[in-house]
Structure 1
């Protein structure tokens, strides 16, 4: 029997860069702990506004969670809040984004593929994620 690959979930998120900038600049903020060291290095190397790059990555993390949630529609969540640090946006040599998962998120989504697109326009940053696989992710 041939393996059928299906879209298991999609996720989209939009972030206001100005509001995210305020969050980053707030004394005592812990928002940067939601980003991996690799993400922080990648943003630091950029010549443009770091808030817009962090905002797009935050949107990608949220879009992954939404796509995952769509894949288990009608079932309870499979993990606790605060998993953003387990979802990493990486870029290849040409700057194309991809998603790398770690920990319990990687385990739950094993056997699936995530496709991501990031965008920035004016004061908005957004991400669209497609979760693809041949089965509903484990951990339900």
Structure 2
């Protein structure tokens, strides 16, 4: 979604472009979108609920959407991936999610794809995931 234009409904005025998606855990879903509004303007954080539509080539921010509170969350893409045992499992490259519910369906890492049931926590340091089946923690 990075780089997709964000438009307003009706006159289709351009708000900016998607810079990043913020993700919250349990249930894992996109909570907000960070929009780059231009070189001389600060980025804007918009709650996912303030978006009227999401498509393959654009997002539409509903009018008055700026009044929705922006839920807490962290950027997933670019995060280190660690198992609960502390083993390094690469870096997050991308995430697939349902544009209607914003639920995360899969996380693509440099070590492969992770289903959402393996995700345990996301912090400043890393995305923590459950170790593959058959490997006990510790």
Asked if Structure 1 and Structure 2 have the same fold, meaning a TM-score greater than 0.5 normalized by the shorter chain, the answer is: no
- TM-score when normalising by structure 2: 0.32
Larger radius of gyration: 2
- TM-score when normalising by structure 1: 0.32
Judging by fraction of residues, say which structure has more helix.
1
Judging by fraction of residues, say which structure has more strand.
2
- Greater relative CO, 1 or 2 (CA 8 Å, sep 6+): 1
